[in-house]
């Protein structure tokens, strides 16, 4: 038992030393780290890994799509001559992809956020892993824009998709109610009051 406790103390000391080393090396990029931490789901370690893996100079990537392609979180669409082949995203840069997955999973748990709403919207017609990858793609795209412009993350809110196109939302809800065998009669808001 004493040997196990000594080993745990050794590991705690190693973690403290490494954390101090990371803090020392990230100090020149503290402003960018704080900027990235404004994204839902991105905390200190995730921001540090993003900076370590993609850097802070976004002129290397002409568009966010180039960055997503490097991180292997871009949507796959491989079809030719009417045949669809595998649209897998690939396995390059597992540290960045793993970090984005971790951040995306955390973002899906946030309340009233665009990223959580995006996950819920995609989860209805895709599998969990593809929806999480799409949220990770959105986080990486936001990081590219934020590092490019130096602006904070803009919160779009959890109701972004319903307010973006209310007519489409109305039609979708009517279809759902009719599928449940309800008759729907719409009246303008003024007529109800």
pLDDT value at residue 11: 95
Task: State whether 97 and 154 are in the same domain.
Answer: yes
Distance CA 184, CA 164 (A): 23
pLDDT bracket for residue 4 (50, 70, 90):
very high
- If asked whether residues 71 and 106 sit together in one domain, one would say yes
Question: How many structural domains is the chain composed of?
Answer: 2
Indicate if 60 and 75 belong to the same structural domain: yes
For 67, the token pair is 């960055």
Q: Rounded mean pLDDT of 24-33?
A: 88
Regarding whether 168 and 138 lie in a shared domain, the answer is no
Q: Which residue has the higher pLDDT, 133 or 81?
A: 133
Q: At what angle do helices 44-54 and 64-71 cross, to 10 degrees?
A: 100
Tell me: do 103 and 151 sit in the same domain: yes
At 54-73, the pLDDT tens digits run: 888 888 888 888 888 777 77
The residue segments making up the domain with residue 181 are 160-193
Q: Which whole number is the average pLDDT over 103-123?
A: 86
Q: Kindly state the average pLDDT of the residues 42-51.
A: 89
Residue 84 has pLDDT above 80, yes or no: no
Q: Does 132 lie in the same domain as 105? A: yes
* CA pair distance 79, 81, nearest whole angstrom: 7
pTM: 0.72
**Residue at 24 is within a domain:** no
Same domain, 127 and 181: no
- Residue 170 falls inside a structural domain: yes
Please list the residues that pair with 83 across neighbouring strands. Answer: 80
Looking at the structure, tell me whether residues 63 and 46 fall in a common domain: yes
**144, 67 contact by CB (below 8 A):** yes
């Amino acid at each position: 038992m004493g040997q196990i406790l000594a080993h745990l103390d050794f590991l705690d000391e190693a973690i403290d030393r490494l954390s101090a080393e990371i803090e020392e090396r990230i100090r020149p990029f503290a402003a960018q780290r704080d900027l990235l931490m404004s994204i839902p789901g991105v905390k200190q370690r995730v921001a540090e890994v993003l900076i370590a893996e993609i850097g802070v100079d976004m002129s290397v990537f002409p568009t966010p799509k180039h960055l997503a392609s490097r991180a292997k979180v871009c949507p796959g669409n491989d079809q030719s001559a009417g045949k669809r082949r595998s649209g897998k995203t690939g396995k390059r840069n597992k540290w960045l992809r793993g970090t984005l997955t971790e951040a995306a999973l955390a973002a899906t748990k946030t309340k009233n956020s665009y990223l959580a709403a995006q996950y819920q919207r995609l989860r209805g017609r895709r599998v969990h892993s593809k929806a999480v990858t799409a949220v990770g793609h959105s986080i990486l795209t936001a990081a590219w824009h934020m590092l490019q412009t130096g602006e904070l993350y803009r919160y779009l809110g959890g109701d972004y998709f319903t307010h973006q196109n209310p007519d489409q939302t109305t039609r979708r809800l009517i279809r759902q109610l009719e599928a449940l065998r309800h008759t729907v009669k719409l009246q303008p808001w003024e007529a109800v009051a």
